[in-house]
Structure 1
C-alpha cells in the first residue's frame, strides 16, 4: 500500500465519520444521552475506590474554544459530535474526566500527545508531548507545546494547552498517558488512551508570532472570515460577479486536508504558509495527475460535467471532490480562484481573488507579447517555440484573468517583501515541473526582481509586458524588425473586492478596489519603464525586444475607439481614426475586422469585416467605421459574449504597419433577487428571482443556481422556458436557521444565454 493509499484511507475514514455526524439530534435523543451519562457517572462513583486511576474521557469544549479562536462559524463545530477547530499560537481548555478522585500532581504522571500525520515526530514538529507537572503557568516559548493546570477538582482535571505558533496546519489527534508516580507500582496501572476527536489546527492571522499575521482587524474579517465575495470578469470596465466561498461548510475542512495529503507536501512543511500556498495553487487544478480539485476546460463543450459559468460558489465543487474522490469537471480561471479562496480562508490563510484586465500570457520569459506581420502588414501566425502549453495558446493576451493574493511573511526574502503574494491555480505554465504558481511577492513584482522566488517573471509579464509588433525584414537580425511597442495595454487594471463593502449591482463601483499600483508603478512613469528594463536585463529572451529601436517612419497616428459595454440585442459600430502629422501626402489602407473571442484571447468565430483606402493630406484626419448589427453577431457569440475588434493599418509610402484592437463584453441582464417577506429564524422566507429576456427568441433548457452560505445550501433548479423579450420570474422558499447578515446568490444559464448573475443581502432576525 502506497503512502497516498494510506493517506486516502485515513482521510476517507475521517470524512465518513464527519458526514455521518451531520444533522441535529432530537430532544428525545438528547435526553437519552443525558440519562446514559448519568448512569455511567453513578457506575464510576460506585467503583471509584477500586483500582488505579483511569482517564474516562476528554471534553475538548469544542464550542467554547471555537469562540475564543474565532472558529465558531465552522459547521463541524456544531455537529452532534463536535469537531475541534483551533488556531495555532492560541490556548484552549480541556476537561479530563477520571474514574476516581485523584491528586494528579502528587500521585500520577499525566502526558498529553498531540500527533499530526502518519509518522508523528517531535523533532520534525509533527508531535507535541506535554508532561503535566502540576504547574499553573506557561513557561515555554510560543513555538512549543505547553500546558498548565487550571483546576484539579474531584474527578475533573481542567487544563489549558498552548499550541505552537509554527504548528503544521491540518488534522491532529490527541492521546493521553496516565501512570502512577510510584516506581514500584504495577506496570498494568499505566493507561494509554487515544482520543477519537478530530482536532483541526489552522493558521492564525490574529497572532503576531504567526507567519500569516495581518495587523488590520477589518482585513482579517474580510480575507479570512467573509464567506462571500466578488470576482470581476469581462473586459474593461469589468463586472463583479458574486461568489460563495463557503469556507465554513462542513465538507470544506476535510476537503482541504485531503487536498494537502494528495499534494505530497511533507507534513513538517505544512506550518509554512509559503509551501502551503504553493501546494494549494498546484492542487486546486488537476493537470499534474495528482487528483486535484478541478479539471480545467476551455473547449466550450461541457456536456459531461458542469459548465464553468454555471458554478455560483465553491461548496458544490468541494462536496463533489470529497464524496467522489476525483477531480470535478469543469473550471476556468475565476472558478480556480474562487476555490483557492475557499481553501485558503478555511485554513486561516488570508486570501482574495484578483482580476487582471488584459492579462499577458508570456510563454518564453521575454516580458513581451510579440505580434508579427509580413512585408505587406498582414498578421503572421507563429508557432510557440518551447515550453508546456495546456491550452495551446502560445503568447497571448487574456481579456481578463483571475488569480489570488495571499498574505504572509516572507522570511526567505529580504526584509520588506512580505504582505500580499500572488498565487495562481489556473494551469498555464509549469514551475519546478508542476502546474503551480507563486507565491510571488508584490514588492518583487513591482520592482522587477526576477530572481526572487516564486514565479516573479511570469506574474510580472502578466501585469506589465509590452506588446511588441515586428515586421518581416530579411536584412534584420532574426528576420524581423521592430515596428513599435504598446507599453500600456497589458495590465490595464487589477481589481479585487474592497474590504467590508459589497454592492448588489454587477457594475457597482463602491465595492471595487483598484490594486494596480500594488503590482506596478503607474503606466507611463519613469519608474514603470525602469522596472521593466531592469527585469529585461535579467532575461536573455527579453533583451532583444527592449534593445532594438523602432525603424519605421511614423508620421500617421492611428487609434481605435473604445467601447465600454453594449447590451445584448443592441447594434453597435467601431471606428478607427487616422491622423496625419507629417508634411507630405500619405496613402492609408485600413482593414477592420470583428469576431467573437474567448476570454483567454483565443479567437472564436469571425463576425464581419470592412476595408478602405484613402489619401491623407498633411494635418488631415479621417475615420473608417464598421457597423455590427445584432443579427450578425448574436449567433457568433461564445462564453462571456466577448467581441474583439481588430484594425490593421498600413501607410503605403513608408510601409509603416499598425495594429490596434478593442475587446469588450456584450452586457447581459442582471438577475433581480428580492425577498418578499421579512426574514426571521425558523420562518419560511419567500424569494423571487427575475430578469427581462433581451433576446427576440425563447430561452430553453433554463437552469437557476442558488447559493447563500449560512442561509441556503447550494441548489440547482431547472425552470421553465423564458419567452422572447419576456420576463423570467421564479419563486423560491427557504427557511433561515440562524440570525445575521447573509448574501443570497443566483446564476442563470440557458441554451441561448449563459452566465447571468445577481444577488441580494438579507438580514435574518431572531424569531
Structure 2
C-alpha cells in the first residue's frame, strides 16, 4: 500500500488555520511490528490490543498543539467512537481505545500518533476520521481505513497461544499437509493456505460481510466479532454454500465436468479468488480436506491459530454403525451410516469463557456440510478435551464429533437376507488422528487427545470374535486378517489370514476371501478378486493362510485415489458359525519427479525452469497418457504433455517455466492420467522470497 494517503476534508471551514494534508500509515513499520507483513497491499493491517503508529502531515501552516486539539474517530458500520489524542507516556488501557503522542513525535508540520484498540475489539475493516478542534472551529478529514485482526501474541486476547513456534506454525505459515489414505498407508498431501496471496485477506473480510448474521443485523454482528467462538461458527458455515453465499459447493460422487474435481485443488487462494471474481457464486467442488483447508486459511488470516486434522476411519452418522457383508465376504451397500477412510476437520485455539478454563485450548471446527447445528450446516467449535472426557452435552456438537472418533461398528454377515453372524468392532473408528508437526511434514499422533482409552499401536492386527454359539458358549475360534508390507503398484498384494482354534475339537473350515475397490467416503464397488478354499485345523492350532493378488488382477480397475476393501469369512462346516475379519488399505503409487533448476528456493518475479517426469512402472501400457502440471501463484493455467501410448518403463516429461508473483510457500502439482483415470499425483514445495 502507499505509505501516505491524501485526506478528504469533510466538515468545517478551511481558513488560515492548520490544515491536514496527508496521513502516513507507516505501513512497513506497523506491519513488521504487528506480524502482518504480506497480508495486504491495499490496507494497513494491525492486531488488536497493540499500538500502531500513524503520522499526520499538515499544510504549510504549523499545527499548534496548545490552540488546536486532535480527536480521532474510528467507525464500524453505524457505530463510531471518538478518541481524544493525549500527550502521555502512560500504559495503554487494554479495554478501551486510546491515542497518544509521545515526546519527540511532534514536529512543526507533523505529529506521530500511537493508536491502540481494546484487546476484545471486533475483527473488521475500520474507517478513520481525524478532527482538528480549535476554540471556534472544527475541521474533519476522512483519512482512510485499517484492518484489525486477533492477536495471538497478546496474553489478554482469547486466542493467545504461548509458544513462538506454535505461532509460526499455526498463524504465520502459509503451508500445510493434509494426511489422507488409510492407517495402513498415509499419504501426505501438501496444501498452500495462501494467506499472503493478493486479495486473500480482502476475500476473508468479504466472507464476514456477506454472512447471514451480518445481513440480518450488521451492528450486532460487528459487536460479536470480538469473540473467536462466534467468528469460528460464522466462518464454518460460510465455507460451505449450504446456507447462503458460502465459498464451496460439495460433491462426493458422479462427474465433476461442470467444475473442478476436489482432488485437483492444491491451495486456498485460487478458491477464494474464484469465489470473489464470480460475484460470490459457490466454487465447484469441495470435499472434506478442501473445506477444512479453506477454513484454516480464513482463520489464520483473521489471527486465530488453526491446524488441519485428519481422523482415519471416521464414523458419519450414529455412535453405533452397522455394516453388512455377504457370506462370501463381499461388503454390501445396505447401511444408512458410513465410515470414511479419512475425514478432515480443523482445530482452532481459543479460550472458552462460556465453558470454563478447563475447556480452553484446541477446538474442533468442521465445515464439511454433514448436518445442522442450530439450524445451520456447521459443526463446532467443540473443545477436544470435552470429546476425551465424554462431555457429550458440551457446545457445540460434542456428541456428533464423539461419534466420529469413537463409534462402535457392528458387522453383520448375511445369507439369503438373514443374519448368520456378527462381529463387534470397538476400536476401528478413529484409530488414528494426525496433524502436521511443527516445522516438519511428519505427522503428530493426536489420538490420545481425543480418546482416553488405550489405543492399539498403528499397524497391529485387528482381531474380531465370532458370535457365540446357541448355548451361549464361546465358539473358540479367532480370526484376523493382515496386509503384509506396504502394497505398491506393479507388485503383488500379500495378505495373511490367521485362524486360531482355541477349542478342544478339530474343525473343517471354508475360507472365503474377497477384494473390492472403494472411494474413501463410500461403500465398495463390485468385487474384482475372490478366492476360497477348504482347510482343517487341529485343536489349539494357529493356522496362517497366505494369499496374493497379482498386479494383473488389480491394475485394470485401480485408480490413483482408490482404496481396497478386503474381507474374509471363515465358515465352520459343522456348526455353520461364521467369523469375519476385514481390512482396508491403499496402494503406494509411482511418483512423479519434479525438479526446479537451481533449487527449490526462488525469488519473486524471476523466471525459473521446472522439469517434470514420470516413468511407467506398471506392467501394462497406459493408453492416452497425459502429464499435467499446475501451480497457483507459479503458473498460469495448465501445462500438459501427451503420449498416445506409454509403454512399461517408458518416460513422459514436461518442462515448464514458473514465476512467482508473491512471496511465501507455493506448490507445483503434477498429475499423470490415462483414459480419464488418475494414475499418480505428486506435489513439490517451492519457497518464494521477496526480490
**CA spacing shift, 1:331–1:552, aligned 2, 3 Å:** farther
Q: Give the corresponding residue for 1:685.
A: 608
2:124 to 166, 170, 185: 170
Partner in structure 1 of residue 513 of structure 2: 592
CA shift at 1:717, angstroms? 1.9
> Which residue does 1:142 correspond to in 2?
94
SS state of the match for residue 667, structure 1?
Answer: coil
- Give, in whole Å, the separation in 1 of the partners of 2:593 and 2:495: 31
Of 193, 200, 203 in structure 1, the residue corresponding to residue 147 of structure 2 is 200
The CA deviation at 1:327 is 0.8
Question: Where do residues 266-281 of structure 1 align in structure 2 (5 Å cutoff)?
Answer: 266-281=221-236
1:632-664, CA deviations, whole angstroms, 9 ceiling, x for partnerless residues? Answer: 323333561211112233435555443222111
1:694 corresponds to: 617
Cα drift, residue 691 of structure 1: 2.5
TM superposition score normalised by structure 2: 0.86
Q: CA deviation at 1:413?
A: 1.4
The C-alpha deviation readout for 1:654-711, integer Å capped at 9, x for no partner, is: 55443222111122222322222266646532221223223322363735344376xx
* Equivalent residues in 2 for 1:213-612, closer than 5 Å: 213-236=160-183, 237-265=185-213, 266-288=221-243, 290-324=244-278, 325-361=280-316, 363-364=317-318, 367-371=319-323, 382=334, 394-469=336-411, 483-502=422-441, 511-523=442-454, 553-563=474-484, 565-612=486-533
Find the aligned partners of 1:482 and 1:164 in 2 and give their Cα distance: 64
Q: 3-state SS of the aligned residue for 1:174? A: strand
Gaps of 5+ in 2: 8-12, 214-220, 457-469
Tell me which residue corresponds to 1:156.
110
SS at match of 1:426: coil
8 Å CA contact 2:332, 2:523 repeated in 1: no
**Contact 1:234–1:664 (8 Å) recurs in 2:** yes
| Corresponding pairs, count | 653
> Aligned to 2:27, which of 34, 39, 62?
62
Q: Secondary structure of the residue that 1:106 maps to in structure 2?
A: coil
Q: Tell me the alpha carbon deviations over residues 490-522 of structure 1, each in whole angstroms, 9 at most, x when there is no partner.
A: 1221111110124xxxxxxxx221221111125
CA distance in 2, matches of 1:755, 1:495: 23
2:646 to 723, 726, 733: 723
Give the 3 Å change call, closer, same or farther, for CA 672–374 of structure 1 in structure 2.
closer
**In structure 2, what is the Cα distance between the partners aligned to 1:418 and 1:714?**
43
Q: Distance in 2 between matches of 1:550 and 1:409?
A: 55
Check whether the contact 2:98–2:116 (CA below 8 A) recurs between aligned residues: yes
Give the structure 1 partner of residue 18 of structure 2: 53
Partner of 2:367: helix, strand, or coil?
Answer: coil
Name the CA distance, whole Å, in 2 between partners of 1:517 and 1:374.
35
SS where residue 210 of structure 2 aligns?
A: helix
Deviation at 1:755, TM superposition (A): 5.2
2:59 is matched with: 99
Equivalent in the alignment of 2:49 = 89
The Cα RMSD (Å) is 3.3
With over 3 angstroms needed to count, the CA separation of the structure-2 counterparts of 1:270 and 1:643, relative to structure 1, is same
Deviations 1:247-284 (A, max 9, x none): 11112111111222232232211111111112222111
- Three-state SS of the structure 1 residue aligned to 2:342 is strand
In the alignment, which residue of structure 2 is the partner of 1:29? none
Residues 746 and 472 (structure 1 numbering): CA distance in 2 closer, same or farther, change over 3 Å? closer
Change (3 A) 1:627 1:248: same
CA contact (8 A) 2:328 2:569 kept: no
The one-character-per-residue Cα deviations of 1:318-338 (angstroms, maximum 9, x if unpaired) are 110111121111111111122
**More deviation in 317-326 or 745-754?**
745-754
- Distance across 1 between alignment mates of 2:550 and 2:270: 39
SS at 2:396's partner residue? coil
Distance 1:584 1:342 in 2: 62
Aligned-pair CA distance for 1:418: 1.0
Relative to structure 1, is the Cα distance of residues 216 and 564 closer, same or farther in structure 2, using a 3 angstrom cutoff? farther
SS at match of 2:646: coil
Instruction: Label 1:286 to 1:650 Cα distance change in 2 as closer, same or farther (>3 A).
Output: farther
Report the secondary structure of 2:127's partner residue: strand
Task: Check whether the contact 1:311–1:705 (CA below 8 A) recurs between aligned residues.
Answer: no
Distance in 2, matches of 1:573 and 1:621, equals 19
Report if aligned partners of 1:463, 1:491 keep a CA contact under 8 Å in 2: yes
* TM-score where L is the length of structure 1: 0.78
Worse-matched range after superposition: 638-647 or 753-762: 753-762
Give the conservation status (yes or no) of the 8 Å contact 1:552–1:654.
no
Any idea what SS the aligned residue of 1:51 has?
coil
1:743 CA drift (Å):
5.3
Query: Superposed, which structure 2 residues align to 1:182-197 within 5 Å?
Result: 182=135, 185=136, 189-195=137-143, 197=144
CA distance in 1, matches of 2:524, 2:560: 12
Structure 1 unaligned runs (5+)? Answer: 1-20, 26-32, 41-47, 121-126, 384-393, 474-478, 503-510, 526-548
> Matched residues in 2 for 1:638 and 1:434: separation?
35
Distance 1:699 1:447 in 2: 54
Cα 1:285–1:565, aligned 2, differ >3 Å: closer, same or farther? farther
Deviations 1:62-120 (A, max 9, x none): 2221111001122x23xxxx41111111110001223354545432343222222x332
Work out whether residues 560 and 678 of structure 2, in 8 Å CA contact, stay in contact via their aligned partners in 1.
Answer: no
Pick closer, same or farther for the CA change 1:443–1:376 going to 2, 3 Å. same
| Residue pair 1:669, 1:694 contacting (<8 A) in 2 also | yes
Match of 1:666 in 2: 587
Q: Does 1:758 align with 2:683?
A: yes
Q: Pick closer, same or farther for the CA change 1:713–1:110 going to 2, 3 Å.
A: farther
User: Residue in 1 aligned with 2:37?
Assistant: 72
* Structure 1 SS opposite 2:586: strand
How far apart in 2 are the matches of 1:416 and 1:308? 38
Distance 2:329 2:654 in 1: 53
**Alignment check: 8 A CA contact 1:138 1:146 kept:** no
Quote how far apart the aligned CAs of 1:487 are.
Answer: 2.1
Q: Secondary structure at the match of 2:293?
A: helix
Which one is further off, 61-70 or 171-180? 171-180
SS of the residue 1:640 aligns to: coil
Structure 2 CA distance for aligned equivalents of residues 158 and 306 of structure 1? 50
Deviations 1:693-744 (A, max 9, x none): 23322363735344376xx3664323333723322322222346788x8554
Distance 1:454 1:686, change over 3 A: same
Q: Distance in 2 between matches of 1:109 and 1:737?
A: 44
Distance 1:483 1:338 in 2: 38
CA contact (8 A) 2:95 2:120 kept: yes
